[in-house]
Amino acid sequence: MELPKGFLFDFDGVVVDSFESHYSAWTSAFKELFDAEIVPFPKSHAGKSPMIIAEYFCSVIGKEELTEELYFLKDKHLDVHFKVPKLLPGVRGFTRFLSEEKIPYGIASNATKQFLKNSVHHLKLNFTTVFGVQDYVKPKPAPEAYILLAENTWI
């Protein structure tokens, strides 16, 4: 049986369930910036870039001009008030297999690189190649994230 050349992972929803981590940071950042409660997170925005999500939350209260400020504040809250995401079943076994077979693998995500590094560290995962949203010009679903990851993982 021929094994794959490498393996590309998304992070949120594939390696971890990070909804609580992100929503907690959005909630506290929104409260700090607007002194108001945030609306429920729309499922339609799951996996989208943080800037698009910030734009959504600001548009709900008519404060689109503060999108960037909310984006950066959420990133700060995600780091300062870091909440370890939930590891999904099978990840350790699968990455152990990839390591044993010497198959390179890494993560490409729309999450920030700092969140990814914190998560990998706290969950004691064996990912050495990690790319976050600030590592590419066009976030997913554009293919740039995966192309960059492939180029840096095994090509």
pLDDT tens-digit profile of 15-27?
A: 999 999 999 999 9
Mean pLDDT, residues 120-148: 92
pLDDT tens-digit profile of 61-111?
A: 999 999 999 999 999 999 899 999 999 999 999 999 999 999 999 999 988
What are the domain boundaries of the chain?
7-17+85-153, 19-80
Provide the CA 123 distance to its chain's centre, in angstroms: 15
Is 124 exposed, middle or buried (CB count within 10 Å of its CB: 0-12, 13-18, 19+)? exposed
Cβ atoms of 27 and 41 closer than 8 Å:
no
Provide the pLDDT for residue 155.
58
**CATH number belonging to the domain at 7-17+85-153, selected among 3.90.550.10, 3.40.50.1000, 2.60.120.260, 3.40.50.300:** 3.40.50.1000
Provide the pLDDT for residue 128.
87
Cβ atoms of 109 and 131 closer than 8 Å:
yes
Rounded to two decimals, what is the model's pTM? Answer: 0.84
